[in-house]
Structure 1
């Protein structure tokens, strides 16, 4: 009979951070997936997302250094509260019609999200062994996207018999409660210095940092050839959310069906992540071969679904407008009970979720393949989310400025094609083992072992000076 994993095991920590993201970013994704934060007028939601991702650009890039300096527990816990603030701001919007607070809350959320995702990325890709990274990414992705599924059920159930076009206060209150719980869950995480893999190796390889060092390392990110090559991938990785949630979900489906769609969208992410993990961790193939096959799957899948999207997009030009004008989609808004009309668009929307999981899980695996150093990976993850947020700023403003749906759709497809070329370059340069990886035999002894910079000789805690011991990565 299988027992529960140890508290200080990487698996437990990845599950815990998955639960945090299930309750915080997962709920945000469900709300965002409704289009315009669940409001009939998407202007405030789009502008709030612009503020969010503008702040996210900066705090995504510096978020890894903030986590390295202050630790994972309190940074994640405090950051989680920014999600609750954002969801709660829509209650104010419902009653006043004033979007200023929601837009400001979006900016605050951008600060919190940048830090939270840097910590999450570090935990997810640095804690497991090299041969387990695909599995750990998938486990996190499944738990995280369960939040989107539950978050889709809430508006679907609460608004099932409602004829309104905007979400009710009760839906937003439910999101706030769950997100506060997620923030509290951040305090259950263990300090990285205490996390020990099943083979006895410590997850912490580098333990010395300062504000000056972190500032220098942030600058180096923009001089790193691999990071520069991955910029198009990072920029594109969330760009499609604006189009999928607005011009598609909010424009051709009625309110309850938007929630219904999100159940399948985020559920499909769980399936896609799980399926890809078997390939990414297949030790019968070299890492480069696994990367090439995964790359081919991502490239073909995305081109197919964008081809299907083009066929659908040519049928309409706009969704419901604030003045009361209905969508020009043939037959009006789709309800999930209209099986003949609903089946094709809902299946396509579900496939968007599969594609998102394939792209982002592959992206994280690529980043995790560059190093096993947890401090570097916190910075790499923050860099990924920061550049990703730059793309999101552009995407949300395209919809906010009423750029035609067809142009938004073509822009998404073109950006995907551009991102594939440098992504392929990174894949073909992959090595079977990261250069800074330490063999298991060198890291026995758990969290009492302390290591210097990558490549240096492992030293036990008893061999360090008192000042060195004080600098251990006890966060």
Structure 2
């Protein structure tokens, strides 16, 4: 064992160390402040992650609160179904190229423009309250699809490529907590305004105005972010990008994302399934079977449960005493158990509900459930478990993609594929709802798709996720060098090419 002895002073600490003033580039964004004895600066991954989380809190978080009401706060879901179909159709197309756009324009501009679509979407329903102009609602949905494709690609790039390898799970959970607080707080607004609305009515104008103001604030906040090239981790390393990006190199990178690792297509069914369940849960369960104030309460509990799911899985995925490849398999097993346990319980509830023709016929005499009714508690917990499952599923997808690469450029393209395919799935299921397919059919299709997606993803998770990804591997997708990404920390010993990964 003596031949394996090393000089401890020559080995860098495995914990993060502060970037020294001498090695830190000058500029106001690198002026640090101290939190619990650790220096934090504006252009650090954690500050940038928290800022993008706040943007998502204000934009898609409020969108989730609005959607969670069922029918976007309206009584008749047809306008919202048409808007959602348009939204996810354009989202699916734009998202495939949004990684290329984000790499060219930069994170800040991409994220800010993406936030604008949310304001217009909420405004279209305010207009619909008075004019019933469905064309404006559908246009707003289509425009939001363009904007959301850009916003979520920029967000995914930050969340997957900025953190060090041993903290990706908790970074994802921190983002998900703040993002879903948007849904929680946003849903409290209609809950407070409709607390006495035991009948089934549309939400008030004030609800929509509140959403518009908050969404606009999110678009403005995005302008204060740093672009990825200016971000430095605590060990002095930078995010791997391209020194000289062009439209040609970025479209080539989009192609290389698939051709260099064709097995990634096995994750596509998991991507496709990851937003399909919203159609059933928000419209065909919450919107169809509960009155206005109960829908608002369910909505609040739904996004709260998302936070619990994200924290649970995010921290478990970073468990330092278990190798990353093993954690990936354990998480997969947990998803499989949850898929059949929670959705099995869901079928036990769904099979006893009235059919769509009765639930949506105002003359049928069907009385939608209130939170005071017998049997509500069971449905409430089922709805919360659905939300927990959603957070677990999406946290795992982001973590799996982050485990495949630390490159910001590749992360942007992977996120673009993820959001594009995810949106295609959502568009299909919102259209099925718009065609008024039976609730049982939409439930069964959603559950079956989730189970099939796990079967396809298993080989990637079992065989391709390693304990760490080397810098040399990530640099195959860039024109940068090792010196470009680790040479900024003068206090790191010269023989150490990268921080020790846990």
TM-score, normalised via structure 2 length: 0.85
| More displaced 10-residue stretch of structure 1: 150-159 or 429-438 | 429-438
The reply to whether residue 252 of structure 1 matches residue 289 of structure 2 is yes
Name 1:469's counterpart in structure 2: none
Q: Which residue of 1 aligns with 2:20?
A: none
Q: Which residue of 1 aligns with 2:446?
A: 412
Structure 1 distance, partners of 2:390, 2:249, is 34
The answer to whether the aligner puts 1:145 opposite 2:166 as a matched pair is: no
Q: Of the candidates 431, 455, 467, which is equivalent to residue 432 of structure 1?
A: 467
In structure 1, what is the Cα distance between the partners aligned to 2:365 and 2:52?
Answer: 42
Q: Which residue of 2 aligns with 1:156?
A: 191
1:120 aligns with 2:155: yes
Do the aligned residues in 1 keep the contact of 2:200 with 2:291 (CA within 8 Å)?
Answer: no
Q: Is the partner of 2:190 in helix, strand or coil?
A: helix
Residue from 269, 273, 289 that aligns with 2:326: 289
Distance change (3 Å), C-alpha of 1:284 and 1:437: farther
Q: Distance in 2 between matches of 1:326 and 1:249?
A: 18
Is this contact kept in 2: 1:372–1:437, CA < 8 A? no
**1:229 corresponding residue in structure 2:** 266
What is the CA-CA distance between 1:322 and the residue it aligns to? 5.5
User: What is the match of residue 379 of structure 2?
Assistant: 345
Report the count of equivalent residues: 448
Give the match's secondary structure for 2:409: helix
> Cα offset for 1:164?
5.0
Match of 1:5, SS?
A: strand
**Larger radius of gyration, structure 1 or 2?**
2
8 Å contact kept, 2:339–2:451: no
- Residues 392/61 of structure 1: CA separation in 2 closer, same or farther (3 Å cut): same
Look up the match of 1:45: 80
Structure 1 match to 2:392: 358
Contact 1:253 1:333 in 2 (8 A): yes
User: TM-score when scaled to structure 1?
Assistant: 0.90
2:255 aligned partner:
219
Partner residue in 1 for 2:29: none
Residue number among 281, 290, 313 corresponding to 1:276 in the alignment = 313
Distance 1:66 1:455, change over 3 A: closer
Distance 1:303 1:226 in 2: 26
Is 1:371 the counterpart of 2:396? The answer is no
- Tell me, yes or no, if structure 1 residue 313 matches structure 2 residue 313: no
Which residue of the partner structure matches residue 207 of structure 2? 171
- Change in Cα spacing, 1:226 to 1:154, as seen in structure 2 (3 Å) is farther
Determine helix, strand or coil for the equivalent of 1:203: coil
RMSD after superposition: 2.2
Change (3 A) 1:401 1:196: same
1:246-278 deviation per Cα after TM superposition (whole angstroms, max 9, x unaligned): 110001111111111111111111111111122
Please say if 1:189 is aligned against 2:228. no
User: Cα offset for 1:58?
Assistant: 1.2
Q: Judge conservation of contact 1:30–1:147 (CA < 8 Å) in 2.
A: yes
* Structure 1 contact 436–454 (Cα < 8 Å) conserved: no
**Gapped runs of 5+ residues in structure 2?**
1-34, 489-502
> 1:27 deviation in Å?
0.5
Work out whether residues 236 and 487 of structure 2, in 8 Å CA contact, stay in contact via their aligned partners in 1.
no
Q: Is the 8 A contact 1:206 1:374 kept in 2?
A: no
Distance 1:437 1:35 in 2: 48
1:203 Cα offset (Å): 2.0
Q: Does the residue aligned with 1:197 lie in a helix, a strand or coil?
A: coil
Aligned counterpart for 2:433 among listed residues 375, 379, 399: 399
Q: Is the contact made by 1:134 and 1:278 (CA closer than 8 Å) also made in structure 2?
A: yes
Q: Which moved more, 1:133-142 or 1:153-162?
A: 153-162
